[in-house]
A and B are shown apart, each in its own frame.
Chain A
Amino acid sequence: MSETLLEVHGLTKDFPLDRRRCVHAVGGVTLAVDEGETLAIVGESGCGKSTLGRMLIGALPPTSGEVRFRGHTITGLKERDFAPYRRQLQLVFQDPYASLDPRMKVRDLIAEPLVTHKVCVTKDEVTQRVLGLMEAVGLPTDYLNRYPHQFSGGQRQRIGIARAIALDPALIVCDEPVSALDVSVQNQILNLLSELQERRGLTYVFISHDLSVVRHVSTRICVMFLGKVMEIGPTEEVFCEARHPYTQFLLDSVLPPDPHLRDRPMRLLSGEPPSPVDPPSGCCFRTRCPYATERCASREPELRREGSVRVACHRVAE
């Protein structure tokens, strides 16, 4: 067994709307990320996966619960005490167009983390490191003085990745890193991420709504719905034998790029997504679940172990 790198316990995030109401974005998530693995977090928009990702790296303070990195609690630390952990925990954003300052040259964009964390002192040292990083992510080194708008989407994502690996982090949260890219470029970036993982021993938390991408990149998968974990386990096991009804619907909604499979009956989810402001009682998926019973409305299912998978469903627990 590999060692646990990051653990979260009962992590919750509420965003207040007004005095009375709030959005329950993440509701009590407990999970662990092992050293060297890729844990995928999947779910539809508004399920809290990005909010969870930001709390994992300490970029967003949780309402309650704690995050532990290599056994040390990093929640509620003062900025000065948190600094060493920030170097270990990095983020790659979805939109490479919006996440880079358009007025900065590539050399300065990639140098920024090195300078902020005082890793390099002399100007020469910085340039050498930046060139090394550009090479590592497959950017032509003679583009050193170009601005973000002079790059394609895929190249911009490479800049974002170079910034994230600049400080030799242990864990990178990749938040939809290829969703804004074209298919042919998407695979280039996925190959780069897996190559970097192998060479640098990185651990990834890979947030995505694209299940075919997730199946390829991840070792374990965590399925979220309305801020809660529905199912978590080894990727292949979840894909081959999904236990939670929501996971089943989610997997069924993947449109196969194969016209021979088009006449199979489509399983459609009924009803409308519930509101995170006023979530249903009991199981949060029950208003859309075809198997829901009275028990699902009265009591929230716990995340229970079923072999190597954990599932939050009363029906599975039987």
Chain B
Amino acid sequence: MTHSTLEVSHLYTSFFTEHGEVRAVQDVSLAVGRGQVVGIVGESGCGKSMVARSVMGLVRKPGKIVSGRILLKGRELTSLSEQELCTIRGRDISMVFQEPMTSLNPTMRVGRQVQEVVTIHEDVPKQEARRRALEALGAVGIPEVEARYDAYPHELSGGLRQRVMIAMAMVMRPRLLIADEPTTALDATVETQIIALIKQLAETGTSVLIISHNLGVIAQLADYVYVMYAGRVVERASVLDLFDHPLHPYTRGLLGAVSSLRGQSKTLQTIPGVVPNLAHLPAGCSFAPRCDRCVARCASEQPELVTVGSGHEVRCHLAKGADAV
């Protein structure tokens, strides 16, 4: 196998607070191949955004990558200085955030913001930078690009702002686009437009890591899916495998909760209890206190991620036919 675009192995990211070490990411390994869309799904606080921030080198104090490797096209990122990371961010990896209004500079015309990405990374004449910015804005489907070039962020709709963000992310043609809840703040009809756009980018060879709590977004976009719970990957599978044969009780609970909304039963399926506090995780499986299939072993022993079929891995003591990896 050739190099994946992105390879993360055994990543641990923690926050060192006055209440002790909060383990936001624990032993996360994942790979994104060329032109592949990989999804991370999970609920708030499961560490999915922290994986993205770790890859981007954007973990702020008191947070820190404790151990693990992050390889972009075979190049180790965790040992790079901030200055070196700056040359990579925006050129080789880009990130699109949830809220386009807070990620754009409100006092700067949007075209200039896209143009700036080009001039930071390359020594090109202004005219050339402008040409490329216009091209990028056009490629993400912004109508009347010339006119919109001089608009300020507040003059654009939420959908257009998110397109500007994607244009900024794509103007240097990075190998990897990380999209953290890119449509969560958007309306449904705009969401479908942005999903279609990200699909298009992947078809032209960009690798995409998409982070979302929305199983609909994941089902529509991702080729492979990682399910995270309390900082760990609890299941990993191709999108069809995951939705057709979910193995982890948490994945089943999530899918059950969503599909019962579409069913006839008056009472909706839920997952009882609440997400555990990351500073005081249970000794065994983090999901054990909420799991209806929990046995004695689950409370005392942390399950390993085991392979149960081609490319399907699950972190559960009860997974049938499991061989430890």
Q: Which of B192, B213, B243 has the most CB of A within 10 A?
A: B192
Minimum distance in angstroms from A98 CB to a CB of chain B: 16
Closest to A249 in B: B189
When chains A and B are docked, how far (Å) is the Cα of A44 from the Cα of B193? 14
The interface residues of chain A, by DSSP majority, are classed as helix
When chains A and B are docked, how far (Å) is the Cα of A60 from the Cα of B20? 47
When chains A and B are docked, how far (Å) is the Cα of A268 from the Cα of B197? 11
- B240–A184 CB distance below 8 A: no
- A45–B187 CB distance below 8 A: yes
When chains A and B are docked, how far (Å) is the Cα of A257 from the Cα of B259? 8
- B217–A216 CB distance below 8 A: no
- B220–A182 CB distance below 8 A: no
- A183–B188 CB distance below 8 A: no
- A268–B196 CB distance below 8 A: yes
- B192–A255 CB distance below 8 A: yes
- A44–B267 CB distance below 8 A: no
- B188–A258 CB distance below 8 A: no
User: Knowing A182-B44, A255-B195 touch, does A272 contact B239 (C-beta < 8 A)?
Assistant: no
Complex partner residue of A259 from B213, B214, B240, CB under 8 angstroms? B240
Bitwise interface map of A from 265 to 286 toward B, beta carbon under 8 Å scored 1, else 0: 0111100110000000000000
| A side interface size, CB within 8 A | 41
The answer to whether the Cβ of A199 comes within 8 Å of any Cβ in the partner chain is no
Chain A 131-168 interface residues, beta-carbon cutoff 8 Å to B: 152-155
Closest to A198 in B: B266
Chain A residues with Cβ under 8 A from B253's Cβ?
184
- B270–A184 CB distance below 8 A: yes
- A44–B213 CB distance below 8 A: no
Chain A residues with Cβ under 8 A from B266's Cβ?
194
When chains A and B are docked, how far (Å) is the Cα of A117 from the Cα of B156? 45
- A209–B213 CB distance below 8 A: no
Minimum distance in angstroms from B217 CB to a CB of chain A: 6
When chains A and B are docked, how far (Å) is the Cα of A154 from the Cα of B188? 24
The answer to whether the Cβ of B160 comes within 8 Å of any Cβ in the partner chain is yes
User: Knowing A250-B188, A250-B189, A266-B196 touch, does A255 contact B243 (C-beta < 8 A)?
Assistant: no
User: Knowing A183-B213, A256-B219, A272-B160 touch, does A266 contact B257 (C-beta < 8 A)?
Assistant: no
- A258–B261 CB distance below 8 A: no
Closest to B215 in A: A257
Chain B 108-155 interface residues, beta-carbon cutoff 8 Å to A: 143
When chains A and B are docked, how far (Å) is the Cα of A212 from the Cα of B72? 39
- B270–A187 CB distance below 8 A: yes
Complex partner residue of A268 from B43, B160, B192, B274, CB under 8 angstroms? B192
Bitwise interface map of B from 233 to 260 toward A, beta carbon under 8 Å scored 1, else 0: 0000001100100000000011101111
The answer to whether the Cβ of B269 comes within 8 Å of any Cβ in the partner chain is yes
- A44–B240 CB distance below 8 A: no
- A255–B216 CB distance below 8 A: yes
When chains A and B are docked, how far (Å) is the Cα of A272 from the Cα of B243? 34
The answer to whether the Cβ of B67 comes within 8 Å of any Cβ in the partner chain is no
Closest to A182 in B: B43
The answer to whether the Cβ of A127 comes within 8 Å of any Cβ in the partner chain is no
Chain B 267-300 interface residues, beta-carbon cutoff 8 Å to A: 267-272, 274-275
When chains A and B are docked, how far (Å) is the Cα of A268 from the Cα of B159? 13
Minimum distance in angstroms from B250 CB to a CB of chain A: 9
Chain B residues with Cβ under 8 A from A254's Cβ?
188, 216
Chain A residues with Cβ under 8 A from B240's Cβ?
259-260
- A211–B259 CB distance below 8 A: no
Chain A residues with Cβ under 8 A from B87's Cβ?
none
Closest to B266 in A: A194
The answer to whether the Cβ of B92 comes within 8 Å of any Cβ in the partner chain is no
- A255–B43 CB distance below 8 A: no
Binding site for B on A (CB under 8 A): 44-45, 152-155, 182-188, 190-191, 194, 209, 211-213, 215-216, 249-250, 252-262, 266-269, 272-273
* A-B CB proximity, top 3 nearest: A255-B216, A184-B271, A44-B187
Other CB < 8 Å A-B pairs besides A262-B219, A268-B193, 4 of them?
A152-B275, A253-B191, A255-B217, A259-B243
Pairs across A and B, CB under 8 Å, 11 listed: A44-B190, A45-B187, A184-B253, A184-B257, A188-B272, A250-B188, A253-B191, A255-B195, A256-B219, A260-B243, A266-B192
